[in-house]
Chains A and B, each alone.
Chain A
Amino acid sequence: AQSVTQLGSHVSVSEGALVLLRCNYSSSVPPYLFWYVQYPNQGLQLLLKYTTGATLVKGINGFEAEFKKSETSFHLTKPSAHMSDAAEYFCAVSDSGGSNYKLTFGKGTLLTVNP
């Protein structure tokens, strides 16, 4: 069984500050890892994903995440927060083996950006 833990249900940063959203996963097989963003009153949009290869992955809007197998982590970062980054962020894991690809989501982290 897979699981995802997002540390901090609410993170608040100042505009221009570093954004760090934490995600730890549990998986018995090599995972595929995802970050999705949900803006108010909208569906989920893929920010970035790790499947294989380079462990530092870059996504849209200046976000990036690093897969660290030894730490079972996939933290999301952005060097400088913008007001438009205010949203809820979800980390998710799926099974890279077989043909299932079902996603298991974390509970989400609400990011607030203060002027």
Chain B
Amino acid sequence: ETGVTQTPRHLVMGMTNKKSLKCEQHLGHNAMYWYKQSAKKPLELMFVYSLEERVENNSVPSRFSPECPNSSHLFLHLHTLQPEDSALYLCASSQDQGLGSGANVLTFGAGSRLTVL
């Protein structure tokens, strides 16, 4: 266990479904992130939250909607996804975001593997 827990681990959904991915961290970190990992592509940063405020939205389509109710929880709400959205979605946390050496070292959850049919 890394201290970052993601659920569900696997999700299959149709293009008209609405689902949510959940992430919880028990590390006392102040920043949380969503990354997308597709086959043969580098990790892509999607969203960053620092102290529950969104500080980065990396040109992600509106069919992905993040929510950060507190510094320990992060959600990614999914609706009307496309088959090309099938990927591994990784949640991560760090002590802080951009506040000095080591503060932005990421601890990842195990990921939610999403398949869109």
Chains A and B are bound partners:
no
A-side residues, CB < 8 A to B, are none
B-side residues, CB < 8 A to A, are none
